[in-house]
Structure 1
Amino acid sequence: MPESATAASGASIELENLTKRYPGSPQPAVDSVNMEIKAGELVVFVGPSGCGKSTTLKMINRLIEPTGGRIRINGEDVTDIDPVKLRRKVGYAIQSSGLFPHMTVAQNIALVPGMIGWSKSRIRDRVEEMLDLVGLDAGEFQGRYPRQLSGGQQQRVGVARALAADPPVLLMDEPFGAVDPITRDHLQDELIRLQHELHKTIVFVTHDFDEAIKLGDRIAVLRERSHIAQFDTPEAILTNPADDFVSGFVGAGAALKRLNLTRVRDVKITDYPTVTVDDPLQNIFNKLRDSGTNEILLLDKRGRPYKWLRRGDMMRAKGSLARAGTLVSDTVTRDATLRDALEAVLTDNAGRVAVTGRRGEYIGVVDMETLMNSVHELLEADRLEAMEAQHELEEARALQTHAEQEGAGGEEKA
């Protein structure tokens, strides 16, 4: 039976009065946290530096031992079991991947399955499956060492290693914090895609509220000592922050932040005339002439966006595409947010961005008009919601005034 047929889905997590005290400190680092996380849910801990969010995360797999309280995973109290066995059942991914530099990619991914006694053939198949899952070619990458990978590739391997033994729970401690913004966006999209396929229970720590909105099914906004200021859906927190502390995290422009709640797959992706690097130059000329547009998209041998070619570029090509056109600087996936797409479009003077699949293959294009229509719809929805809230407030005040007047009238009669 293939691994995917027996894949473990997520497990529920319950934290009951979870506390951590360090010797010599007058206040606990984490103070009596109570939380229920549903199976298959992606929950994000977000809060200021030093608030205890990473400490809380590490207590779930007991990398940090709790001083008090209980941890239950799928109803089983794991507070007193062997912490090493627990860690083998809980995936863990950290910033800068945490890969062992003296081990190959395959050896890093195989680490936990080897510890728990999987056969060599099963481990070999699993390594290939995991690399495919995170969008890396097994033949190309499994024999490499971490130093031979880019930062984004290292993070992908780190996630593959964390998922290798098929744990129901995955803990992620600022895993994308050390990569550049474009790579970070793509890694976030990859995690969203993986979660759609795997349905693990993921607890994710970040200090970036925009990342929390983009990834989380629910967000726990934490104060000092991991006190929960608000634990709710991203939309609820954006539209109805619990207090001034949460409002400070939301910041200005809540309507625009809601662009992180809508995905590229939810809007119109248009087709675009394309050619490949293997097409004869005359065919490319003909396609551009017949397309009715001023440009076409050149795809590489794997069907990935490579260059934008305009009519003037073709006139200067002189029998070669080597110097013609403009390299595609950015793409988005269908799991990217509208905010990601809008940022990509705004940095491109032609006002469009190519949409790609899991292997980077071309799918379509999203343009400025589509994105701006979505922004206007969100702003209009916010305006109507604000008007309704104001109307309800006025009605409540009128009822309160009426009740007070009735009460005053009754007192006078008495």
Structure 2
Amino acid sequence: MPETPVATSGAAAGSGAASASGAASASGAAIRLENLTKQYAGNPYPSVDNVTMEIRAGETVVFVGPSGGGKTTLLKMINRLIEPTSGRIRIDGEDVTDMDPVKLRRKIGYAIQSSGLFPHMTVAQNIALVPKMVGWSKSRVQDRVEEMLDLVGLDPGQFRGRYPRQLSGGQQQRVGVARALAADPPVLLMDEPFGAVDPITRDHLQDELIRLQHELHKTIVFVTHDFDEAIKLGDRIAVLRDRSHIAQFDTPEAILTNPADDFVSGFVGAGAALKRLNLTRVRDVEIADFPTVTVDDPLQDIFDKLRDSQGNELLLLDRHRRPYKWLRRGDLSRAKGSLARAGTLVHDTVTRDATLRDALEAVLIDNGGRVAVTGRRGEYTGVVDMATLMNSVQEMLEADRLEAAEHRSAGGLPEEGLEHPFVRDAGGPEGPA
């Protein structure tokens, strides 16, 4: 069987980091790349040229740059799927450059595009692979499989026995992440893991990763060509030129408001003010309550609740308390004793970890002026409406205008012209450019 690069830490293998075994989960590890270079034979230029970088323990760092620029090569040198020509790799201070690469990969989780699951193995067998390799007991492995499926929002009873071909693309990616985390590695490498799924599924997978990181605090290094995805996921973003030369390595806020040069500005692109919405989560704004009923409520009770409510609408929840339909008074008058034909199906929801941009898009598509917010199992937790979103946008833009004005007064920007690309998008005292 070929060696899989998903893996665990030595601490996990020895003392047990899984909560199923009663121990605390392993936290992230610091990574230092020192003058890392990859030169392929016959190529006059290195694919990765003398890269030095510090990645802090527990943070998510995103590599973004042009195709063919060396992002994936740089990522794969961290777990030595690609061996560096020169330079050093240190993880939590330990030089792993000369370590047995198989043992190293068992300390580093790895998730790729299209999940990389073994098709002849069930979901449970895929997730259990590395814990078995490092010698976990059968009962502990079984507990970990259950825990991992629950962690990524898949019902263990429903999914553990399925094969990858029986899963949707989004489900496969969730299992891929579960497998990468199964043996509790401190470091997780992700190479465009959501690039092969549809945009809606991709948004949900991004939200799921954000939620997982809030719980697990791993060190995540993530490769993408999508700058919006980088803004949404990254604590810091490394914008890489050809040969992985670092054009700018900073927080999303700093890159949006103060790109280092024209190359970085090209990645930021137009609409920086809108991209700013990717930096604020739904959990950071007011999530309002909304009158709800369930499919099991008597029809007369639904009539009475809608008549007594201040608004003109109810949210109908299914038996699992997931948003199902929006009901208006006129819908109920046509129900004729049944809810089957009444109301409008809920087409989109957002989680607390979704960005304000996700929420705004959902509100605009739905045209009802609101979007339902759900928990990890899809259960209803509240709504966010257009007024809340617009107030948040205005507050962010005002804060950015004040920051830009302070920067200009300190000599950071010219007084005339508002040449900074973010200020142009946000609109300064002379209006948008």
Q: How does the TM-score come out when normalised to structure 1?
A: 0.94
Residues 51-108 of structure 1: CA distance to partner in whole angstroms, max 9, x if unpaired?
1000000000011111111101111111111111111110000011111111100000
Provide the rounded CA distance (Å) in 2 between the counterparts of 1:294 and 1:32: 63
Q: Does 1:289 align with 2:290?
A: no
Structure 1 partner of 2:335: 317
- SS of equivalent to 2:188: strand
**Structure 2 CA distance, aligned partners of 1:281 and 1:48?**
57
Secondary structure of the structure 2 residue equivalent to 1:268: coil
- Superimposed CA distance per residue, residues 343-365 of structure 1 (whole angstroms, 9 cap, x where no aligned partner): 10110111110000011000000
Deviation of 1:273 (Å): 0.4
CA distance in 2, matches of 1:10, 1:396: 42
State yes or no: 1:357 paired with 2:375: yes
Report deviation, 1:11.
Answer: 0.5
List aligned pairs for 1:103-114, cutoff 5 A.
103-114=121-132
CA shift at 1:378, angstroms? 1.5
Q: Report the CA distance between 1:36 and its aligned residue.
A: 0.6
Superposed counterparts of 1:2-401, under 5 Å = 2-3=20-21, 5-393=23-411
Deviations 1:131-153 (A, max 9, x none): 01001110011001111111111
How much identity, in percent, do the aligned residues show?
84
User: The residue matched to 1:393 in structure 2 has which SS?
Assistant: coil
- Alpha-carbon distance in structure 2 between the residues aligned to 1:209 and 1:240: 15
Aligned to 1:411: none
Residue-by-residue CA offset, 1:273-325 (whole Å, 9 max, x unaligned): 00001111111111111111111000011110011111111111111111111
Is the CA contact 2:20–2:147 (under 8 Å) kept in the aligned structure 1?
A: no
Change in Cα spacing, 1:9 to 1:3, as seen in structure 2 (3 Å) is farther
Q: 1:395 to 1:282 in 2, by over 3 A?
A: closer
Give yes or no for contact 1:345–1:367 (8 Å, CA) kept in 2.
yes
Counterpart-to-counterpart distance in 2, 1:372 and 1:100: 46
Aligned-residue offset at 1:2:
3.6
Structure 2 Cα separation of the partners of residues 193 and 27 of structure 1? 40
| Mapped partners of 2:134, 2:409: distance in 1 | 61
Structure-2 residue corresponding to 1:401? none
Residue ranges of structure 1 left out of the alignment (5+ in a row): 398-414
User: Which structure carries more helix by proportion?
Assistant: 1
Gaps of 5+ in 2: 1-18, 416-433
Partner Cα distance (2:306, 2:144) in 1: 45
Tell me how large the CA RMSD over aligned residues is: 1.4
Following superposition, the deviation at residue 116 of structure 1 comes to 0.9
Alignment CA distance shift 1:151-1:162 (3 Å)? same
C-alpha separation in 2, matches of 1:194 and 1:170: 12
Question: Contact 1:255/1:382 (CA < 8 Å) preserved in 2?
Answer: no
Q: In 2, distance between residues paired with 1:4 and 1:76?
A: 27
TM-score (norm 2): 0.90
- Distance in 2, Cα, partners of 1:59 & 1:369: 47
| Contact 2:20–2:143, Cα closer than 8 Å, also in 1 | no
* Cα deviation 1:165-200 (Å, max 9, x = unaligned): 100000000001111111111111111110011010
Equivalent pair of 2:20/2:144 in contact (CA under 8 Å): no
3-state SS of paired residue (1:376)? helix
Structure 1 segments of 4 or more deviating over 3 A?
Answer: 1-4, 394-397
> Amino acid of the residue matched to residue 103 of structure 2?
K
Name the aligned partner's letter for residue 28 of structure 1.
P
Q: CA deviation at 1:380?
A: 1.5
The whole-number CA distance in structure 1 between the counterparts of 2:188 and 2:409 is: 44
